[in-house]
Chain A
Amino acid sequence: MKKEGKKDGGDRGKAPLTRVGFTHLPKVLYPEAGITKLQVVKYFITIAPRMLPFLEGRPAVLTRFPDGVGEKGFYEKDAPMGTPDWVETWDHWSETAERVVHFIVCNDLDTLLWIANLDAIEIHMILAPVKTPGHPDLLFIDLDPEPPATTADAARIALLVRDRLAAQGIRIYVKTSGKRGFHLVVPLVPGLAYTEVRGFVHAMGRELARENALVASESPGPSNPGKVLVDYAQNSPGRTMVAPYSLRATPRATVSAPVTWPEMEKGINPGDLHIQNVPGREDPWEGILRHRQKLPGGEKGRGKQG
């Protein structure tokens, strides 16, 4: 069963570049855009240096589309049958699944390429590293505009959040969700519990909601029509964020692409950042994990339960 383990794809003589044997390369994964698996795998290869730092050391959850994005994909937390033994997995009790889940941990290029070969178009990741499962090292704010609120509305709120945090000395980074909204991220000095991070985001969301009618800070029902939800609840164990530079299962093969704040100010359409043009862009998130930050300690924001 371990076909993957065999050297394959290497040019004769030389040591193989990867342990992954690529299969079904001509298969069309994005029927509307006519994008094949070959192009998807190539994208993964090209983007790997930017993506791997974020995937390293944390559980990945895949959404696989073996029949292309036109058909239903499936969400896969567990390392599938036939996972090569060189792929690192992390066994963790899942409260929701009520069993031990064998998460994939994408620590190296080969694992990422193996994931690509599984037609795992979307890679989602958990906010806490496997070393400290209860302590996230990323603060995550999902800004999702509820129609009729628009992407531009979400961008406006993103800028508000940036300014608010900047006043507290925190630098936040932004990426497109690849769909309609934006994802804001602060790399954290590990040590805070999920509840603390969640409490911080929640408190800020409530303040923003008081000041701006466009902002919703709570998500009691299924939707807040016309509002942009500052979703604090994502900062919870088991919740995931789509990885930076992950492809999305959209007709145009959009990417959850890191962008700059000047771009946000000018106005940006997440639909314009896709498999074709993202690899040619600068990487606004380069090295951001080397500058981890602390949340303003002890006082107000922290400690409040979300």
Chain B
Amino acid sequence: MKKESRGRPKVQATVVAQAKTGEKKAGGKGTESKRAGEKTEAAKAGRQETPVAAGTAAQKAGEKKSPRPIWSGSVSIGLVNVPVKVYPMTRDLSVHFHLLHRKDGQPLKYERVCTRDGAVVPWEETVKGYEVRKNEFIVLEKEELRAALPESDSRIRVDRFVHYLSLDPVYFDNSFILVPDGVPDAYSLLLTVCTELGAAGVGHFTMRTKEYPAVVHAYHGALVLTTLRYANEVLDPSGFEELAALPAPAGKQLDLAKKIITDLSGDLDITEYHDTYRDRVLAIIEKKRAGETIRVEKPKAAEVKELMTALEETVAKLGKK
């Protein structure tokens, strides 16, 4: 949801060494420049990679809940308003890396370079273009785009209530924790009612520049806002030819299959599942940590003095030899 439109920009982002090298490479059409493009988007959204030891930073993030609300407003049901602060409920724990220059370990940065002459283009000289045909763009000015923005009125408007279990999880996009902002009475009332009835308020709201359908429901003693995907963002599998004429299974096989499923039945414990790639990458990082990442750290004066006294003796001894 952080990403805006994915129109291919005319100005490509390319990896360049931070140290100014006279010549700059024009960005190829390869995957590298594409990745670079995504990176800049992520950077714009204000979520830059964590420094040096990515793993440790990620682990730290795991220990604390998010300190700042990303949005505040109110859940409005008819004339009733429930003031809330919105916190993210999910997080991305994948390991992020910095791209370094192999020869000296210098971090690289991204620059927008012109695909014609390879010259770096400053932000002020950029404009958004929508590719209508190959290499043919319609330019959209900031003002034009701004005029089309949905109006943000800091409200999560609930249009109606449905039973939470009647919702199709295929539409669930991302979840946020709602926390009472100020007087908690209305919040508590809405939470209690939703819990007791299993009700979820369906509506829509605007965050930043995007408008979302969403549901507000009770979860673990809190109201949770889950944004939904639009109908046209979810594909209907029945469109696949292979699914059109499936043969009916034979009775015996069906019984056997049912038995297998019954035997394997149980409850889902999501904690049984681990991102083993991430675990392994973090293990490697742990091993390499401290050793290969050079951090500047001012040692304490007393300690250094102790060492220097010993060192003076040693230097003198070595000198005598």
Contact = CB atoms under 8 A, between A and B. Distances in A.
Interface in A278-293: none
Interface residues of A, number: 35
Most buried by A among B291, B308, B317, B318: B291
B311 A25 contact: no
B170 interface: no
Contact of B294 (A4, A64, A67, A113): A4
A38 interface: yes
A22 B314 CA distance: 17
A21 B295 CA distance: 11
Interface string A26-50: 1000000000001001100110110
Contacts, number: 80
A4 B297 CA distance: 11
Interface stretch (B10-18, B83-91, B298-306): B298-306
Interface stretch (A74-82, A90-98, A239-247): A74-82
A52 B318 contact: yes
Interface in B256-305: 287, 289-292, 294-297, 299-300, 303-304
A7 interface: no
A267 interface: no
A112 B319 CA distance: 16
A11 B307 CA distance: 11
B296 A64 contact: no
A82 B310 contact: no
A67 B290 contact: yes
A80 B291 contact: yes
Contacts of B289: 66
27 contacts: A1-B105, A4-B294, A9-B308, A10-B308, A17-B315, A22-B303, A23-B297, A23-B299, A25-B299, A25-B300, A25-B304, A25-B307, A26-B300, A38-B303, A38-B306, A38-B307, A41-B307, A42-B306, A66-B289, A66-B290, A67-B290, A74-B287, A80-B291, A81-B292, A82-B105, A109-B314, A113-B311
Q: Which 4 A-B pairs have the closest CB atoms?
A: A66-B290, A45-B310, A25-B303, A49-B317
Interface of B: 104-106, 287, 289-292, 294-297, 299-300, 303-304, 306-308, 310-315, 317-318, 321
Given A21-B299, A49-B314, A74-B291, 5 more contacts: A9-B308, A21-B296, A46-B313, A72-B287, A74-B287
